[in-house]
């Protein structure tokens, strides 16, 4: 089913359930704003998801409604994860999908962090 990325937020989505502890994850990092964990279907040798702890449907929702401290805290968490995983020297890619055409699959804002090999072009085709 296509994901619109727009409210309302679905509290039964898989990331909401992970945040509530109903589904386990392979945690990489956690602070007051964010949780980072390994993707269960990695698309690169290193594929980590960073999610805000509060309920946002997409980047659109997050950027419009999160407070400045939360946005800054989330972005810093993405940077901390990359640094703690030792990704800075070789490089990495950050990706956030929004809506059906963007390829969003889970209706909870999240950032993909890819690394561990040359990643190629940003958009295929």
Active-site positions? Answer: 110
Both tokens assigned to 27: 């945690």
What's the burial of 49, exposed, middle or buried (CB within 10 Å: 0-12/13-18/19+)? buried
- Cα–Cα distance, 20 to 121 (Å, whole number): 36
Cβ-based neighbour number of residue 8 at 10 Å: 9
- The answer to whether the beta carbons of residues 112 and 46 sit under 8 Å apart is no
- The answer to whether the beta carbons of residues 70 and 55 sit under 8 Å apart is no
């Amino acid at each position: 089913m296509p994901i619109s990325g727009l409210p309302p937020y679905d509290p039964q989505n898989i990331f909401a359930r992970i945040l509530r502890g109903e589904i386990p994850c392979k945690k990489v990092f956690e602070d007051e704003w964010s949780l980072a964990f390994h993707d269960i279907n990695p698309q690169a040798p290193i594929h980590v998801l960073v999610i805000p702890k509060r309920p946002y449907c997409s980047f659109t929702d997050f950027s419009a409604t999160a407070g400045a401290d939360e946005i800054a805290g989330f972005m810093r968490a993405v940077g901390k994860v990359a640094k703690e995983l030792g990704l800075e020297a070789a490089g990495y890619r950050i990706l956030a999908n929004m809506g059906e055409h963007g390829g969003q699959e889970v209706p909870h804002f999240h950032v993909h962090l890819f690394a561990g090999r040359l990643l190629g072009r940003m958009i295929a085709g």
